[in-house]
Structures are given as C-alpha cells and as structure tokens.
Chain A
Amino acid sequence: MSIAMRDVFLIAWRSSRRTMRQPAAVIVPLTFPLILLAVNSNGLKAATQLPGFPTHSFLAFFLPFAFIQGALFAAMTAGTDLARDIDTGFFNRLALTPLRGMGLVVGQLGGALTQAFLQAIAYLAVGLVLGVHFASGPVGILVFLVLALVIAAAWGMTGIWIALRTGSGEAVQSQFPLLFFFMIISSMNLPRNLIEVDWFRDAATINPVSYMIEALRSLVIEGWNVQALALGFTVSIGAVAVAMGLASIALRKRMTRT
C-alpha cells in the first residue's frame, strides 16, 4: 500500500469509527430519509394521476431523493467532525505527522462515503422490499449506487470545504439549511415539465440537484436514459471537482505548517 493510500485509509478508518460511535450521527441519517420517503410516497401519490407523470409508483419516483438526502446528512457529519477537530486541536496533532493535506481531506471524505454507502444499501433494501422495480435491471442498480456515491462525494467535499473555511461546527451546521433549500427547489417532488409555476420550474432547471435526482430516477423508472445519466454524472463530478478545489484552497490557509 502506498503512503498516500495508507494515510487516506487511516483517516477514513478513524472517521468511520468515530461516526459509528455517535448514535445520533447514524440513526438520524438512516431513518429520516426513509420517514420522508414513507410520508411523501403516501401523501403525494395522487401526483401519479397527472397526465405525463412518468410512473404509477410515487415510491419509485421519490426513492432517489432518500439517497441525496442521506448523502447530505453524511456530509454534515463529516464537515462537523472536521470542524470539531480544528476547534479542539486534533487537526494540529494530525498536521504534526507526515500526513499530506489532501490525504486528510480525502480520508475524511472516505469516512463520509463509507457512511453514505451503508445508508444507500439500507435505502435500496427498503425500496426493493417495498416493491420498487429498477427498469435498468441489476446493472442499473450498480450504476445507481455508483452515482449515489459520486453525489455523496460532492456533498461531502462541500461539507469539508465549509469546515476548513470556517473551523466551526456551528458554521457547518448553519450552512446545511441552505443546501437543503437547494434540494427542495429541485425536481424532487415533480418532473420539471409538470411544474406549472414558472419561477419554480426555472429554478429547478438551473439547480444542479435536479440533474442528480433525474439521473438516479431515470435508472429506476425509465431504464437507460443516456442523456439523463450523462447530465447527472457530469453535474455530480463537476460539483466534486469544484468543492475539492475550494477545499484545497481552504486547506492551504488552514494548514499553515511550513
């Protein structure tokens, strides 16, 4: 194992272990998206009667949102934990070892991705048990999980960037309602072509979160929609790249060691 890989593994190991030992950091991200899934798939199922609605199952339509929301929770945990490390001086302890700065960032992200992956398996299992059928088949399920993890990486890196920039757990948590707002003004509840309010449809169209959800959704209810997948992967990978760039700038300012 290379030194860089070893560092990433050790930081991810520590991050995962720490998360798993905080019941609130495990239970809330696991259950809250499933509760919202249960509420919305029941309360909004009348939407499937709308002309042009792409499926008869609102559960299948809404399932991808659980993955996006769960990833956001995992990112919040990763960001808050890193901010706490900065606040308590643990970050300085790590800075005094030969650990490379990006090793810390990627390792921390690895912890968030581990959590997001375990959550994703749980959401997927619940969806399949409740009768959700993946139109893209077993390979589509794998692609779905890969995309869900890329989206989790985008959120996770955003959380890490905010933590490095502010050094405050409270600041990290205060940013997340804003990110949650981005999720709400997307196509999470309705396909964009069925949103009748102009400003909302426009907002959903320029909102990258819509393309993440639509790519995941396409694998569940449409099969292989290359355009939706290309857009979803491009937007998600782009978000990872932008957040990683911002995080590396914040890291340079935060980790001032010579």
Chain B
Amino acid sequence: MADEHGIEVWSLVRTFKDVHAVQGINLRVEPGEIYGFLGPNGAGKSTTIHMLTTLLPPTSGTAFVAGFDIVKDGPAVRGSIGAALQEAALDPYLTGREHLRLQSGLHGIPKREREERGDELLTRVGLTRAADRKVQTYSGGMKRRLDLALALVHRPRILFLDEPTTGLDPQSRNALWTEVDRLAKDEGVTVFLTTQYLEEADVLADRVGIIDHGKIVAEGTPEELKATIGRPTVVATPKQAEQLEHATAILERFGEPTRASPGATAVMLNGKGDLADVLRALDGEGILVDDLRLHAPSLDDVFLAKTGRMLEGEEEQSE
C-alpha cells in the first residue's frame, strides 16, 4: 500500500464498451515527487486521472492514493487530494473570491477561516486584484491559476493536474510551472501531472511515464529515458542545395541517417567520430555549411523510439 502521501497503481484497467482506454497500468509515485504522465490525446491520460481521483470507477485493478483504496475508500481519497482537471471548470458568473468561498465551504473549512484562506491563495496565485471580478472576464492563464488555487483550498498532500498548461501563453505557462515546482519542493506536495508537452515533462517532472494506447511504454527520470536513446544526432545544412546529397554521404560515415528538416541532412552518431570530425570531413571535401549542430536526445526522441511517432503535432482526437 502506498505511503500516505504517495500513489501506487496496480493493474488499472478501464474499458468503455469496445474501447480499451487504459490497459492494465502499474506505477508508483513517491511522496513529494512530481510525476509527469506524458502521452498524446486519446492515450488514456485523462481516463487514468479520473480513476485516480475517484470520479470514474476502474473496470478492474485498483490504486492506492494517500494510502486509501480508490475503489473502496473514495471519500477518504477525495479528502486527501486536490485536482485541477482538463479545462478550468469555473462558473463564469461567480468571482474568483466567491469560487474560493464555495470550495472552502464544501470542504468544511470553518467560516472564520474561509476568507483568510481565500486571501492567502489569491495572493499566492497572483489574483488579488482580480478577486472580485467575475470569472468570465479572466484570461486563460488567470482561470488556470484560480483552478490551481481551488485545488489547494483544503491543503491536500497530493495534487492531480490534468494538462494544466494546455492553451496557455509561455508567460502563464512558466508562472504555473514555478508554482507547481514550489508546491512540491517547498511544501512536499506530491504532484501527478498529465501533459502532452514534452518540454513541460522535461522541465517539471522528477519522473516521467509515457502512455500510449492505454499502456505505459516507458518510465523513468527524463535523463534516464534520454539515456535509453543514447546517441546524439548531427544535423548539417549545406549552403548550396545541390551539395545536400554529397553532404549526406559524408555524414553517413559517422552514423545512421535519421529524420531532418528539408534542406538539411542528419545522422545519429555511432561513436566513430564527434562533431569536430564531421566538420573536418565536410570541410575537407569542400562542402560549405550554413548550419551544423549537435542535437542531444530529447524526450521527443524517446517518445519516437518508444511509440514509433512524434508526440507534438499529433493529430488531435478526443479522449
């Protein structure tokens, strides 16, 4: 059974008629850890988070969240967790402060403490000045920050965030990352975060699980996962387009060809040379290069290797 602040998932399955949304996943999230659950739309991320937050009963298997069984102890699980699910679910006609008042009231926070707790959270998410405005006037980033504040009202030890930064501008995204990181590092809150952004998982998560077609296909720290890919890639863009074929032939002496953007050529290095050797070879055969770069493995490469396709830019499909 999981620690009182952790998550442990045992053979969790969820089917909807003929659709096998989640197919027997197992995972463990340690207390205070940020776990990034990475996958494309329709992979099973939201179904998993709905099961872990007790909103959806599993078809089979179970999980322990904060030490409670999600199937047998739903109310106890809900009392221990905070959740901001996909799309900030807010009432456009209520103000930010009223949302906090409602949420804290329903969580049983004594009336005299509600205002204080609301003010504290509004300050923390930077919404003090907008607190008495109706939510329909909020930007996407403000709604997400309010959503996070609402999830924290009852001081949960485990926080579930379902694609918290989808649709946000870079500034709002960074602000949310900072707050989530602070919650984990300073307050020891365990964070289970689903995302379809590789950068988000890379920057924020201590460990990452990649889910595809309802199954976890890889799991580890971002560094461990990248290490499984191992080899860096050299990408060269010849100055003259007609030299592309010649440049490709030279690069192939150093590794296996891999995908490159139009007008460029790339190989995954096989250990027979490094960037300097590639540059010397190109120069020695009179190839002028516009751009030459060494590309270290990324989570995108991991995703490609594990699933056979790229994550970002996937055609959207509803989960």
Contacts and interface: CB of A to CB of B under 8 A. Distances in A.
A21 B87 contact: no
Contacts, number: 73
Interface stretch (A92-100, A121-129, A131-139, A167-175): A92-100
Contacts of B79: 98
Interface size class of A (residues with CB under 8 A): 20 to 34
Given A96-B55, A257-B54, A22 B108 contact: no
Contacts of B218: none
Given A92-B89, A93-B89, A258 B54 contact: yes
B106 A94 contact: yes
B91 A89 contact: no
A10 B106 contact: yes
B134 interface: yes
Nearest to A95: B55
A258 B106 contact: no
B93 A18 contact: yes
A93 B135 CA distance: 16
B45 to A, nearest CB: 15
B93 A89 contact: no
Nearest to B88: A89
Interface residues of B, number: 32
A97 B107 contact: yes
Contacts of A85: 91
Given A21-B134, A98-B78, 13 more contacts: A10-B105, A14-B98, A14-B102, A17-B93, A17-B98, A18-B94, A22-B93, A88-B89, A88-B90, A98-B75, A98-B79, A256-B56, A257-B55
A88 B92 CA distance: 11
A94 B55 CA distance: 11
For the complex of A and B, list the 9 residue pairs with the smallest distance between their C-beta atoms, beginning with the closest.
Answer: A89-B89, A258-B74, A97-B106, A21-B93, A18-B93, A90-B89, A10-B105, A258-B54, A93-B89
A85 B108 CA distance: 22
Contacts of B71: 258
Given A96-B83, A257-B54, A14 B91 contact: yes
A257 B78 contact: yes
B42 to A, nearest CB: 18
B105 A257 contact: no
Contacts of A258: 54, 57, 70-72, 74, 77
A82 B54 CA distance: 21
A97 B54 CA distance: 11
B210 interface: no
A230 interface: no
A85 to B, nearest CB: 8
A3 B86 CA distance: 29
Nearest to B81: A96
A94 B74 CA distance: 14
Interface of B: 53-57, 70-72, 74-75, 77-79, 81, 83, 85-87, 89-91, 93-94, 98, 102-103, 105-108, 134, 150
B67 to A, nearest CB: 15
A99 B104 CA distance: 11
Contact of B105 (A6, A22, A89, A93): A6
A214 interface: no
Nearest to A104: B106
Contacts of A89: 85-87, 89
Contact of B94 (A17, A96, A97): A17
Contacts of A94: 106
Interface in A1-43: 3, 6-7, 10, 13-14, 17-18, 21-22
19 contacts: A10-B105, A13-B102, A17-B94, A18-B94, A21-B93, A88-B89, A89-B89, A92-B55, A96-B55, A96-B83, A98-B107, A98-B108, A256-B55, A257-B54, A257-B55, A257-B56, A258-B70, A258-B72, A258-B74
Nearest to B87: A89
B55 A14 contact: no
Interface in A60-114: 85, 88-90, 92-99
Interface string A208-230: 00000000000000000000000
A92 B56 CA distance: 10
A95 B83 CA distance: 11
Nearest to A258: B74
Contact of A256 (B57, B75, B86, B90): B57
Contacts of B81: 96
Contact of A92 (B74, B75, B85, B134): B85
Contacts of B55: 92, 95-96, 256-257
Nearest to A25: B93
Contacts of A96: 53-55, 78, 81, 83
A110 to B, nearest CB: 14
Contact of B106 (A18, A92, A98, A257): A98
Contacts of B75: 98
